[in-house]
A and B are shown apart, each in its own frame.
Chain A
């Protein structure tokens, strides 16, 4: 039978589509059992894996912090040796920033994007699975080093020359390099997937001014990662060369430049911190409207603010280097840029406040987290504004003042938005509500504990306490604040524990939820909870930003066709591709079946990279060879994907 070349997709009613549902189910479902799980390319399964894995890393990072806080609770404690402390603070940073903060947002985005966009999957389902496996393997590689007592021990920022072989000879830093290279691959292919999905796979009528803000956030982060991640990958590769091959990129004796490391690292690092908050801000921008019963105020301004924050974010990296002795002109420029970047954030803050003010808040747990997020966002933002001023930064940088700032922005913006997002979308993902009473307790304990734990860090930073010290003398007056901080941190941990317990008990026995338990307006609420493997029986035709609210919002005659009519695409795994700007139907895209190649390729690449970094040439060769074959097998043109005629 010849491969189809053209087809007019059938436009059918919901009743007609019902008849085709079992067939669609058979086409799209992943077979049960371990093999099915290992080969699945379903974005919902992959999204959930990302979420669970990143939350496990959140717990590990939290445990590391808990031990550190015991050591620092009082002056002169001997719980940890300096080396043990150095490994803990390094792994805490690495775990939270790389293995939790970004992957958790990838998890949400992976799960939600096709549902929000009216599509059946992401543009590259196998690549999606591959990006998850690479993330998992990167995390395992770094934690294996931890378990063998050889974790990276030079901070997550890993400055040279301390990171060079002469000062840190063990395999610690090489393990970090390995993990970062693997993670860089994961992040990059994930970014590619999001970008191409956004370009091609939106439902008909879902023009760019109708996509939810979380899409804007993840899209912006993905575009940024394309351009930013190579900087850090390169930094680690050059460091590996210096450590293993005697090159002189960073070592001053051979004409190398220690500050080159900092430039490369922060040219990546600063855009990265926006990558870990912009999608979270999108969660709140999409979540607050649901619980305030009105669309977001200033949608276009918020979308614009998202993009401009990231663009400006590429021009401020030197503010991490204000104390390194750079010329005054350069300092003044980067200082001013670092202040200007406050303005797009201000747009978002006032948009959120306006949405609450003009809306009718529903006091669900999710709403509490989103509201608390706004306040913590602003506190974190102003401490950043303070350090943007160069002379102020000369006192505040490298101290606990910055530690306070970064935790207010990362926990306040990322964690609070994520937890709120879990409370909101848990019913969609599992078909059950989380417990609201336990939820409210978890919010207040987390919120109060967080502020007790981290606000005093501003003060102890003003009192002169530097970062990354394993102990401090009794006569500097930092003991009281540190004791308060430790107590607050543990209270916060109890709050997080309540949240985790809530997830587990609700998964097992939570109250059942229907398709749209909160009365939301976007497409994910139009399918069952949990969604069927094919997401939409009918690819909907979208007329507005909130397809499910069109009657109430009364914005005009056009109506989306959600749950009334749509395109039936059931000749195998298929979804609709549309044009970039106006989302007009353009092509019927054939989607791949489940495959083991993503897992195989990721294992092979890990072996290849590990062999290279540790100079284990047999592993390097076998890994490379298997990777090559797996890659060719993956890309082999298939009839079922309409890539060839025969």
Chain B
């Protein structure tokens, strides 16, 4: 028998200070959801490449709201990372603060998105571009909304004092998803707001 497989030290029990199975699970969720957005953006680029009418409909969309929105979302990721670092040191309060601020920033981002939706010159069913715009940004907003729900539940558990410096895998797992949603937005932003200006 190969002696190297015998553990030299006692093993941790449960997800203490090790990546929980759920952490790996969240990475695979990120992989599959990232693929979903890859296919959504593929649909955009494919349709754009075959477009016969001027593209995008109504010209390249404005930076006025989208850049502040991007900054707000990025800020949310930084704040969440700050909060997570807090619980690693056992600072429950810092974690709670990080969660609350991130949730508010995300809600602000969603509000900006809705505002931009409302002020578009076209409706969902106008043409292929409008369909892609609303559905792709809509998919992203849905993912942000799910992220907000996840953070809210984690906030509840934080307030119930469930986490400490040793056991807080639910926080780490939620934060992976949170950063993923931010990164996806960067790709969506590039596609809609920057790529038409490159052509």
Question: Which A residues lie at the B interface, using CB under 8 A?
Answer: 3-9, 11, 123-124, 127, 188, 191-192, 195-196, 199-200, 204-205, 226-231, 233-234, 238, 241-242, 245-249, 254-257, 260, 263-264, 267, 541, 543, 558-561, 565, 571, 577, 583-590, 628, 632, 635-637, 641-646
Contact = CB atoms under 8 A, between A and B. Distances in A.
B11 A246 contact: no
Q: Which of A9, A632, A637 is most buried by chain B, counting CB atoms within 10 A of its CB?
A: A637
Contact of B13 (A238, A558, A565, A588): A588
Given A230-B33, A587-B12, A588-B14, 17 more contacts: A3-B14, A191-B28, A196-B25, A230-B32, A230-B36, A247-B135, A255-B47, A255-B127, A255-B128, A257-B47, A260-B46, A585-B11, A586-B18, A636-B157, A643-B169, A645-B164, A645-B166
B39 A559 contact: no
Interface in B8-23: 9-16, 18, 20-21
A8 B7 contact: yes
- Chain B interface size band reads 35 or more
Contacts, number: 191
Contacts of B159: none
Contacts of A263: 42, 46
CB-CB nearest 3 A-B residue pairs: A642-B14, A246-B125, A247-B131
A256 B14 contact: no
A433 to B, nearest CB: 33
Interface stretch (B50-58, B78-86, B110-118): B50-58
A635 B39 contact: no
A257 B46 contact: yes
A559 B5 CA distance: 13
Given A559-B1, A585-B7, A589-B21, A230 B166 contact: no
Contact of B12 (A5, A228, A231, A635): A5
Contact of B11 (A7, A256, A561): A7
B73 to A, nearest CB: 22
Given A199-B24, A643-B169, A646-B162, A248 B14 contact: no
Contacts of B4: 584
A264 B15 contact: no
Contacts of A11: 6
B39 to A, nearest CB: 5
Contacts of B71: none
22 contacts: A4-B14, A6-B9, A123-B21, A124-B21, A191-B28, A196-B24, A199-B24, A205-B5, A241-B131, A248-B128, A248-B131, A249-B132, A254-B128, A255-B129, A256-B131, A263-B46, A587-B11, A587-B12, A587-B13, A588-B11, A588-B14, A644-B167
A565 B128 CA distance: 65
B11 A8 contact: yes
B32 A238 contact: no
A4 B11 CA distance: 10
A177 to B, nearest CB: 15
Contact of A7 (B13, B32, B35, B166): B13
Contact of B128 (A4, A256, A543): A256
A630 B11 CA distance: 32
B31 interface: yes
A238 B52 contact: no
Q: Which of B4, B43, B130, B167 is most buried by chain A, counting CB atoms within 10 A of its CB?
A: B43
Interface in B152-199: 153, 157, 161-164, 166-167, 169-170
B170 A643 contact: yes
Contacts of B7: 8-9, 584-585
Contact of A645 (B20, B24, B167): B167
Contacts of A234: 36, 39-40, 43
A204 B5 CA distance: 6
Contacts of B129: 255
Contacts of A543: 1-2
B151 to A, nearest CB: 13
A188 B31 CA distance: 11
Given A247-B135, A642-B167, A645-B167, A231 B18 contact: no
A230 B39 contact: yes
B65 interface: no
Contacts of A264: 39, 42-43
Nearest to A580: B24
Contacts of B12: 5-6, 587-588
Contacts of A635: 153, 170
Contacts of A3: 13-14
B170 A590 contact: no
B4 to A, nearest CB: 7
B29 interface: yes
Contacts of B32: 188, 191-192, 226-227, 229-230
B128 A541 contact: no
Given A6-B11, A255-B51, A637-B157, A249 B43 contact: yes
A100 to B, nearest CB: 23
B60 interface: no
Interface in B89-136: 124-132, 135
B67 interface: no
A254 B2 CA distance: 67
A196 B161 CA distance: 29
A205 B2 contact: yes
Contacts of A642: 13-16, 167
